[in-house]
């Protein structure tokens, strides 16, 4: 495996609560990404990072924020969770823009 750990792996929470998902890598890769996967869809990019404190929005960023204060950690925060954010969330890393992304095992998030 590419040295990516997502935590928690499963979480159930209530609408309106804040939620933070963590992605931790031991590969020292520059690029990190957060995706969500929903039934009938491929992976959709939420936010990405191209270095410490360098982040940008993906195609489905509304309702999400991210932070990257260290190379190894990329945090995804749902400030006030909604049921539409129930999904499987994947973190991915890559050393350069033209090499494959390697994925964590995913976090299954349920918002009731």
Partner 1 sequence: AQKITQTQPGMFVQEKEAVTLDCTYDTSDQSYGLFWYKQPSSGEMIFLIYQGSYDEQNATEGRYSLNFQKARKSANLVISASQLGDSAMYFCAMREVNTNAGKSTFGDGTTLTVKP
| 94 belongs to the binding site for partner 1 (CB under 8 A) | yes
Give 9-44 as a DSSP string.
Answer: SEEEE-TT--EEEEEEESS--SEEEEEEE-TT--EE
Distance CA 26, CA 18 (A): 27
The correct pick among 56, 79, 82, 110 for binding partner 1 (CB under 8 A) is: 56
Each residue 63-82 as x (binds partner 1 by CB under 8 A) or -, in order, gives --------------------
| 41 belongs to the binding site for partner 1 (CB under 8 A) | yes
Distance CA 2, CA 20 (A): 22
Q: Which range touches partner 1 (CB under 8 A), out of 17-25, 65-73, 76-84, 100-108?
A: 100-108
């Amino acid at each position: 495996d590419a040295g990516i750990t997502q935590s928690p792996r499963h979480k159930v929470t209530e609408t309106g609560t804040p939620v933070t998902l963590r992605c931790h890598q031991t590969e020292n890769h520059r690029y990190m990404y957060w995706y969500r996967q929903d039934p009938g869809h491929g992976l959709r990019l939420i936010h990405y990072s191209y270095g410490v404190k360098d982040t940008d929005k993906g195609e489905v960023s509304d309702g999400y924020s991210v932070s990257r204060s260290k190379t190894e950690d990329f945090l995804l925060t749902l400030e006030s969770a909604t049921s539409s954010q129930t999904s499987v969330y994947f973190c991915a890393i890559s050393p350069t823009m033209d090499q494959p992304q390697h994925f964590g095992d995913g976090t299954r998030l349920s918002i009731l």
